[in-house]
Amino acid sequence: MALLTGAQLLAADSHQVSLAIQVHPESIVSRISPDFIGFGYETSAVAQTNYFAARNTTLVRLYRNLSPHGLIRIGGNISDHTRFDPDGVASVQTETNVTVINRRNLQDLAGFARATGWRVMWGLNLGTGSREAAAQEAHAVAGIMGNHLHSFEIGNEVDIHGRYTLKYRDFNSYYSNYFAFRQSIRAALPSSNFSGPDVANNLGWLLTFATNEAKDIRLLTHHYYRTGAKTPGATIENLLKPDDGWESKLSQLQAISRNSGVSFRINEINSFYGGGKAGVSDTFASALWVLDYMFQIATFGGDGVNMETDINQLGWISHYSPIVHDADGTCRVRPEYYGMLAFALAGNGDLLKATLDRKGEINISAYATRDERGALWITMVNKDLSGDAAVEIALPPNYRKLEAFRLEAPAVTSTNQVRLAGADVSSDGKWTPGPPQKITAKASSAEISVPHASALLLRLQH
């Protein structure tokens, strides 16, 4: 099949497909973690001024819109090219140089964590650092972060270290160094918690690590990108298509997690590695993609996601960043943020079994949740580029009040004018949803439309 251009996507003729959906309130698929939503950053982001700080009230609001207690992951390639100097001059560098983090940077990040209620997963330098330096840094991070420190990671994408060093040629070589680093850190900080192994794609390494470390690890961590930003597959069409290989890997991650008793988290994830692709990663397509993928990871019992954000290892703000900022720290959101915001609205509590009966070919996903107040949510993500969905919903007993919130934009290629519940995010980070669309129920069902390249969140109450 030939890939469509942006102009062709806009010009595609729409058609309607009928579907039926049924929710099974008695069948719980998984429990969505309270800190499921997260962001991931290169360590160099912490060395920036006017960004991670309680005084950055817009960024604080943007985080609080999503969750009162999410997870910030600090690491990435830059973590293996970072030096902690308590009283040094902070320096933001690419992965070809050395980034410097100082005590003031950590204090600002801790203040930001307190203001948002979020915790921090902190990556330590395994690639070019020493055990002694890692122990000193970990002691400083723990002392400043206090109870807002979640855990430490030792190294980044340890299964592909060969990209920039020949230090680790196999798992045993890596693991012996990991173990030595961990022992040094524990000597300085006996109560320290760890997550890992932070692999890019090697499930064999993650399985062996889980077998060895199950009793001494907080989370198993893995990364995901659909493909590289410079590859032919970095298109809107490809981003929105199901990734069968990734679903198979999620199934294996779920099995490893169950067998080891340790939850897994996709702690670095976004559309295309290498900073994303302009005209794809920064469009409304990314909002639909992220909403669907967050629910998909929850379906397989994942602890959560850390959407890669902000300045990358190459020194510029990635095209896929849900939040971007200018030199003075002023923040604004891109379309992907709205997909995360939609998940924040509907992705809480118990994830329930939902069955979808398609009466035609259409690229749509459906998920059901039950929140703490007992309301049911049905989220339908129509990633089809031309197929509109006419959906008949079988209503569970006693649920007759139906309200719909839509995630939409002028086109799948739109980079602005995105709306969730009829409202956008203001320049100061505030989001106030508009009144929901009232849906009239029949005796035991309701009908609703979900246009192509849009999503709908339906709340059902007694």
Over residues 146-190, the pLDDT tens digits come to: 999 999 999 999 999 776 666 777 899 999 999 999 999 999 999
> Domains in the chain, start-ordered, CATH in brackets?
6-30+350-461 (2.60.40.1180), 34-346 (3.20.20.80)
HSE, side-chain direction, 13 A CA sphere, residue 238: 19
The predicted model gives 27-52 an average pLDDT of 96
Backbone angles phi, psi at 412, to 5 degrees: -65, -25
Helix (H/G/I), strand (E/B), else coil: 180: helix
The predicted model gives 91-98 an average pLDDT of 96
Identify the band that residue 2 occupies on the pLDDT scale cut at 50, 70 and 90.
very low
Q: For residue 288, which of 250, 237, 222 has the smallest C-alpha distance? A: 237
DSSP letters for 117-139: T-EEEEEE--SS--HHHHHHHHH
What percentage of the chain carries pLDDT values higher than 90? 91
Identify the band that residue 400 occupies on the pLDDT scale cut at 50, 70 and 90.
confident
What's the whole-model pTM score? 0.95
* pLDDT value of position 232: 97
Q: Is the pLDDT of residue 92 over 70?
A: yes
The separation between the first and the last C-alpha atoms of the chain, rounded to the nearest angstrom, is: 46
The predicted model gives 248-272 an average pLDDT of 98
Specify the length of the chain in residues: 462
Over residues 276-305, the pLDDT tens digits come to: 999 999 999 999 999 999 999 999 999 999
What does the DSSP 8-state code read for residue 227? E
* pLDDT value of position 167: 72
What token pair was written down for 53?
Answer: 């700080």
* pLDDT value of position 407: 98
Q: Is the pLDDT of residue 1 over 50?
A: no
Place of tokens 């397509």: 285
* pLDDT value of position 187: 97
